[in-house]
Amino acid sequence: MSVHKKEIKRVTTHVLQAMKARKEKIAMLTAYDYSTARILDEAKIDVLLVGDSASNVMAGHETTLPITLDQMIYHASSVIRAVKRSLVVVDIPFGAYQGNSKIALDSAIRIMKESGAHSVKMEGGAEIRESIERVLSAGVPVMGHLGLTPQSIYKFGTYSVRAKEEAEAQKLIADAKLLEEIGCFAIVLEKIPASLGKKVSEILTIPTIGIGAGVNCDGQVLVTHDMLGITKDFNPRFIRRYLDLFDNIKGAVQHYIQDVKSEDFPSKDEQY
Ligand code: KIV
């Protein structure tokens, strides 16, 4: 019998479920464009999230609210063209699913049909139950998102840790159970106490993916621009920076400018 782990050819929602069952952690990162998605997919990231954080890191908006469904579909189709292995999840943006399950279904179908994505993500619990159920009824896999839900930032007022009080923690647990019961395949838990992340992960049979929700979640997600150090001024405790690309890229660009101005570039070998 081979001692080697079976190579995952294509990550599906079922693969994620099996990973939770065998206690193998799930690694998820964001991607919004072809070139980055290609690198992350080749590195064997399990899940690629076309997050509405594109509104912040790609477009420079202060919140995730302004990004449109058309823009999300553009980002998602660029990512999909690069991917051979990862499961691609796409955020349904603000205003494209809340409060009207028909709009939610139309948005999810547009994302799946026009981008070729594999699943969608929606923020919230009981208050969006009908929308999630309608999307699921069309055969579209849904990832939930609880805790700090950035599309509701104007309701919260701040980006501080959620569910520190017992009542909010209890609501989050009830919402998590509901999302599992109605058929979500996984849930992102954002910026909640690690003890609550652990509790929810133990209660649920579907995987939890944490961002600032502690080590006991079944997987972790970061915004790629944060972990690569492309963003500079956003420094919550939950980010680990693996590179300092902002300064590295800036240095390379300054070097290039110098080479152009001094006529060092192009050299004889770099021209025809
Ligand atoms: O949009 C996003 O990047 C997200 C992650 C922070 C989970 O929702």
Q: DSSP string of 223-238?
A: -HHHHTT---S---TT
Question: Do residues 195 and 85 both lie within one domain?
Answer: yes
The boundaries of the domain holding residue 269 are: 245-272
Mean pLDDT of 83-93: 98
What's the total number of domains in the chain?
A: 2
Report the number of secondary-structure helices (H) and strands (E) in the chain: 11, 8
Question: Do residues 162 and 269 both lie within one domain?
Answer: no
Question: Do residues 92 and 131 both lie within one domain?
Answer: yes
CA dist 165 → 6, 125, 160, 194, 211 (Å): 43, 18, 13, 13, 19
Dihedral of alpha carbons 167, 173, 175, 178, sign = negative
Nearest CA to ligand 1 atom 5: 51
109-134, pLDDT tens digit by residue?
999 999 999 999 999 999 999 999 99
Question: Do residues 34 and 112 both lie within one domain?
Answer: yes
Asked if residue 1 has pLDDT above 60, the reply is no
DSSP β-ladder status, 208-211 and 219-222: parallel
- Pocket around ligand 1: residues whose beta carbon is below 6 Å from it? 30, 49, 51-53, 91, 188, 190, 211, 221, 223
CB of 205 closer than 8 Å to CB of 13:
no
Residue 4: what pLDDT? 60
Q: Which residues are catalytic?
A: 190
Is 4 within the bounds of a domain? no
Q: Give the bridge partners for 28, in sequence order.
A: 47, 221
At 169, list the tokens: 């923690």
DSSP structural state of residue 193 = -
Question: Do residues 73 and 48 both lie within one domain?
Answer: yes
Considering the entire predicted model, what is its pTM?
0.96
Question: Do residues 186 and 259 both lie within one domain?
Answer: no
How far, in Å, from the CA of 115 to the mean position of ligand 1? 18
Is 129 within the bounds of a domain? yes
Would you place residue 8 in the very low, low, confident or very high pLDDT band (cuts 50, 70, 90)?
confident
